[in-house]
Structure 1
């Protein structure tokens, strides 16, 4: 089993490094535009979308996942998530799927998590063959729970959102979208981005 150490200072606190994924933390990767797009705008921070480390362990459990003491090794793959509100990108925060002590130090991790703000979703599971969904990630993040009635707000109802996978809009319930290796998942509210990202170029080794 891999240990939680070493630890590294991230944007807002301390979090696990991505040592289980590669010998060095991978770069942010590149959103791959469709034929008519020249580039994907950089995501910017938006109020309410930041990760609240308080209650993180409870959110992992609410997502139906376990708080582990190390990343799993039985299954290991990655997907990518972009979030847009009326065509404007929202940052997917680092450390989704980590649990923290009261003083903000990591003390556990789920099989479904993020290490940085690249939007790369890591699935590092102790048991192979399990299904992981967008709904579970959103629950771990603590957003789109319907507690804010403002359209497109961070805690608005997820039922008003739309999801596309690899450039194709999905008819299924947003929360039921299954995360698969190298999928490009786009979650958006209101106007879709000018051109929907259809793929993501993952860093070498992912």
Structure 2
């Protein structure tokens, strides 16, 4: 059968199949998909950097709440001569931390107006005394198998450092004490380690009572 001719007498060109002129869906979407993936990666990197920056700022803010965390402060005394596992004041040293009675207190020490660092590792010598420290921010961990009120004197006995009205560790002079911002009269050894107690000892000169913010979870 003959093909139809147009008005000009020429044969009409056959129509192209839609399938032959339509672009492949994969080819059409590949570039946008790649750009979307790149945007997602960039967004994740920005969010990650923001989280790290926020954590760093939060750490600096928290560290600044306690003068005992100052990097320029001097160590009050090392843990070199502390108790080595023997029972001290009825307090044992055990292979794991006890949680029947679990609280925290804060200790700050100033000598002649300058802050002193309380070392980490007090009461940790291959075993855990019920009173010990993990960090240099002055936080005392009281983790005991019995419900008992311990004293600051117990902590210093484990540390094997002197504590009296005239001496704190190696520092000597008149000692003024504050507990939760209130002046404590009497022997600083008898200061009770109660939940979130903020204990400040001033040796030789007076320093106003400081505040302290315990980190979340303590």
TM-score, normalised via structure 2 length: 0.62
Note if 1:51 corresponds to 2:79. yes
> For residues 100 and 168 of structure 2, what CA distance do their matches in structure 1 show?
37
| Structure holding more strand per residue | 1
> For residues 74 and 135 of structure 1, what CA distance do their matches in structure 2 show?
22
Cα distance change on mapping 1:172 and 1:74 into 2, 3 Å: same
Note if 1:188 corresponds to 2:217. no
Q: Is the CA contact 1:165–1:183 (under 8 Å) kept in the aligned structure 2?
A: yes
What is the CA distance between 1:54 and its match in structure 2? 5.9
Deviations 1:67-102 (A, max 9, x none): 111111101111100011011111100011122xxx
Q: Is the CA contact 1:85–1:152 (under 8 Å) kept in the aligned structure 2?
A: no
Match of 2:216 in 1: 204
Number of residue pairs matched by the alignment: 157
CA RMSD of aligned residues (A): 2.8
The partner residue of 2:142 within 120, 123, 126 is 123
Q: Is the CA contact 1:30–1:202 (under 8 Å) kept in the aligned structure 2?
A: no
Rg (Cα) greater in structure: 2
What is the CA distance between 1:45 and its match in structure 2? 2.2
Q: Is the CA contact 1:30–1:200 (under 8 Å) kept in the aligned structure 2?
A: no
Match of 2:116 in 1: 90
TM-score, normalised via structure 1 length: 0.66
What is the CA distance between 1:152 and its match in structure 2? 5.6
Unaligned runs of 5+ in 2: 1-58
Cα distance change on mapping 1:156 and 1:91 into 2, 3 Å: closer
Off by >2 Å, runs of 4+ in structure 1:
27-33, 53-58, 61-64, 151-157, 159-162
Instruction: Please list, as runs of the form range in 1=range in 2, the aligned pairs for 1:57-206 lying within 5 A after superposition.
Output: 57-58=85-86, 61-99=87-125, 107-128=126-147, 130-144=148-162, 154-155=169-170, 160-193=174-207, 195-197=208-210, 199-206=211-218
| Structure holding more helix per residue | 2
